[in-house]
Amino acid sequence: MSRPTPAPPAPPAPELCYRVEGMDCADCANKIEALVNRTPGASNPRVAFTTQVLRLNLDESVTPRESLEAKIRSLGYKPTLLVPEGTKSHTHPEEAAHHPDRGEARAQDGEHVHELEDKPWHATRQGREVITTGVLLVAALVFGFIEPQLSRWGYIAATLIGAWSLARKAWAGVRLGNPFSINTLVTIAAIGAVVIDEATEAAVVVFLFAVGELLESIAAGRARAGIKALAALAPKTAFLLEGEGEDIRTREVPASSLRVGQVVQVRPGGRVPADGTILSGFSALDDSPVTGESVPVNKGPGDPVYAGSINTDGVLTVRVDKDPSDNTIARIIHLVEEAQESKAPTARFIDRFSRYYTPGVLAVATLIAVVPPLFLGGAWHEWLYKALALLLIGCPCALVLSVPAAITSAISAGARRGLLIKGGAVLETLARVRTVAFDKTGTLTEGRPRVTDVVALEGSEAELLGLAAAVEQGSSHPLAKAIVEKADEVGATLPPSSDQQAVQGKGAQAMVQGRTLVVGSPRYAAELAPLAAEVAGQIEAMELQGKTVVVLLNPPTPLGLIALRDEPRPDARKAVQALHRMGIQTVMLTGDNRRTAEAVARQLGIDTVIAEVLPEDKAAKVKELQAQGRKVAMVGDGINDAPALAWADVGIAMGGGTDVALETADAAVLRGSVRGVAELVRLSRDTMRVVAQNIAFALGLKAVFLATTLLGITGLWPAILADTGATALVTLNSLRLLRFR
């Protein structure tokens, strides 16, 4: 009897992307995430409160999007659809603000921009609430000197106006299964204070809480502004070249309309409109907006360019290689947003903790309000007052914000400096790394050999280079290209050559000035004619320095020696030293021969060399390092090192904004600088230090005011001031990371 064919797995529900206005803090993000998780048909919520973006998968046959949007609005937020279902694009919501013509489903102009981004704080809804409550508070205070009875009603009015929006959010949370929110605690405390005739303190509580929320929104806006600045780097227009030959003409078009294969002109002082390749022209380009590299890079035909780079002097003709919605800046912003959606382990722990902490605070406050008056003869007014103060002290605002505020600031600061970090979990792991394994070629070294020594046995060095370059001319071998480049650099004359031939695995030969000349390895040269002991000694000495030596012969006579080496990057030694100062062991993991690897390692100060390993064996070596009980970061080019990058605790890709550098590893150094690896570790350690400080601020202030409240030293408004103060401290402390250098 045949078995029934299993049903194919159900396709994933379409993805939706929303701008959620009013989602300004970690608590807001947690509430919206919880709402999505409780909604039938909705799954996989990814919330980034700094960019006010919600991504989720929604099966509309179960819950229509209109129903989900209504639930979000009932929490006090305003959702605006940015990306239609089924659309997979790297176009970022921040970028959509600058390119509203992209995408099929777009918000109306202005709806997707947060108030604090285009208005002063006092013109926003939150600002108006703070001002209104503050004015009523001051008016009530003034009336207190004229007619005390009138002042009482002024304080009550200030409390009710300020608490109205909090009560609405609290009630929405109750209806949606989240009764123990920060809004609930503050609402109960404010109304309870009015009931026990403490309207003055109730008004101060509501006012200070509103000020705290406003400060939190402004801080989130600061982090958001950094990401918007990235989106604004790409120019809005481009000069498109059309026609052929003498009929070529230039037309200014929107940069968003460019397509792969089109050719654009980039003028001096202008920004590159799209990722592409230079077809003609030479210029120095300022790539700092993309890679963080502060020094302009000289580029010419065949070199890649990135959208947003600044052309400093020459006129360039560039072929567009990527759609504007998929350029490097758009991809960086997309990755930054994904990183912010990815929670650090500490943040996940605090989220779980707060689910039990908040109802626990409510239960303890209830016991404090009821037990002493009922069983210990305490005064109802006194213990109700202390219970309400405890509710305010227990607000977990600062605690919930302590991790995401720091992580978001660090990720934004890193992105602006060409350091991409894919989430809080990566940051936490990087801070614990104690071993960094480097690939050699293209990571510690520049990835292309250069001539380092020229030893002429006959004639001058320039003549030797000219003859060798004549033999190697037209070859695509890296050593041949290096010899030709060196000859051109010193201005050597290349005599005519003919009959060029490659001797497989040994060298090359050609007819030059009527004689057959050979450029080959020392072993091949020895096959053609024995080398003198002095010449063999010179070859051995250079090879001990990690150099590759080729011999130019007019068989059987050697004419000279040329040594080449893939030179270390200029900043590699300083980067290794910086890692050592942080207590990190360095390892070179390379497929190159041991002699060359050890020579480079000695020059850079690398602790351990593991040489002559195949790419597929590098992952096994990483596992061996991990078996020693240390967190290991692997640094490579993201292509042949992919298995090792995947197995390492943190994989760091070196590159210049390539797809592999952006997609393969956990982190990426976009500029070709080894120093970026040390900067990544230092940024992660600074971030975790700030996180620890934030948690200490949040819990320390609460502990102090809890004790003083129970002892009757402090009351309601100092309690909310403690919570607001802790939130402000945590926020300001986290924003320090934006100044990371």
Tell me which residues are annotated as active site.
439
Local structure of 240: helix, strand or coil: strand
- CA–CA separation, 713 and 613 (whole Å): 69
Is there a contact between 520 and 555 (Cβ–Cβ < 8 Å)? no
What dihedral angle (degrees, nearest 10) is formed by the CA atoms of 70, 74, 80, 84?
-40
Tokens representing 435? 């071993």
Tokens representing 714? 């402090």
Q: Give the DSSP per-residue string, 420-462.
A: EE--HHHHHHHHTEEEEEE-IIIIIEEEEEEEEEEEESSS-HH
Tokens representing 445? 């070294």
- CA–CA separation, 721 and 335 (whole Å): 37
Beta bridge partners of 497: 512
**Nearest CA among 649, 595, 659, 593 for reference residue 622:** 649
Q: What is the largest CA-CA distance in the chain?
A: 118
E strand or H helix at 124, and its extent? none
SS (H, E, C) 257-321: HCCCCCEEEECCCCECCCCEEEEECCEEEECHHHHCCCCCEEECCCCEECCCCEECCCCEEEEEC
- CA–CA separation, 389 and 620 (whole Å): 58
Residues near 149 by beta carbon (within 8 Å), at least 6 away in sequence: none
Local structure of 62: helix, strand or coil: coil
How far are the Cα atoms of 118, 161, 184, 395 from residue 191, in angstroms, in the given order? 34, 12, 11, 16
- CA–CA separation, 208 and 723 (whole Å): 9
Positions of E strands within 315-384:
316-320
**Nearest CA among 586, 652, 591 for reference residue 616:** 591
**Nearest CA among 534, 533, 538, 559 for reference residue 549:** 538
